[in-house]
Amino acid sequence: MDLRFSPELETFRSDVQAFLSEALDDELRRGAAYNGGMFQDYETNIRWHRILAAKGWVAPAWPERFGGPGWSVEQRYIFSAECAAAGAPALAPMGLGMCGPVLMGHGTEEQQATFLPRILSGEDYWCQGYSEPGSGSDLAALALDARRDGDHYVLNGSKIWTTHAHHANWMFALVRTDRSGKPQTGITFLLIPMDTPGLRVDPIIFVSGEHEVNAVFFDDVRVPVTHRVGAENDGWTVAKYLLEFERGGGNAGPGLEAAAQRLHRLAADHGVALPHGTLASLEVTIEAVKTLEFRILSALGQGQNPGPESSMLKALAGQARQQLSELTITLLGPPALGGGAAPAPRGATPEVAAASATAAARYFNYRALSIAGGTDEVQRDIIAKRVLGL
Catalytic positions are 246
Q: To the nearest 10°, the Cα dihedral for 178, 189, 159, 320?
A: 130
CA atoms within 13 A on the CB side of 153: 27
The angle at the Cα of 33, spanning 27 to 34, to the nearest 5 degrees, equals 90
Give the long-range contacts of residues 381-385, CB within 8 A, separation 24 or more.
382/308, 382/311, 383/308, 383/311, 383/312
Residue among 307, 302, 354, 372 nearest 33 (CA): 354
CA separation for the pair 53, 56 (Å, rounded): 5
Give the number of other CB atoms < 10 A from CB of residue 301: 14
First-last CA distance in the chain: 31
Residue among 344, 332, 378 nearest 131 (CA): 378
Residue among 290, 275, 336 nearest 36 (CA): 336
C-beta of residue 98 within 8 angstroms of C-beta of residue 128? yes
C-beta of residue 91 within 8 angstroms of C-beta of residue 80? no
CA atoms within 13 A on the CB side of 279: 14
Determine the distance from the C-alpha atom of residue 127 to the mean position of all C-alpha atoms in its chain, rounded to a whole number.
11
What type of residue sits at position 53?
A
Give the number of other CB atoms < 10 A from CB of residue 58: 23
Its sign, for the CA torsion 255, 258, 260, 265, is negative
CA separation for the pair 390, 384 (Å, rounded): 5
Strands 170-176 and 126-129: parallel
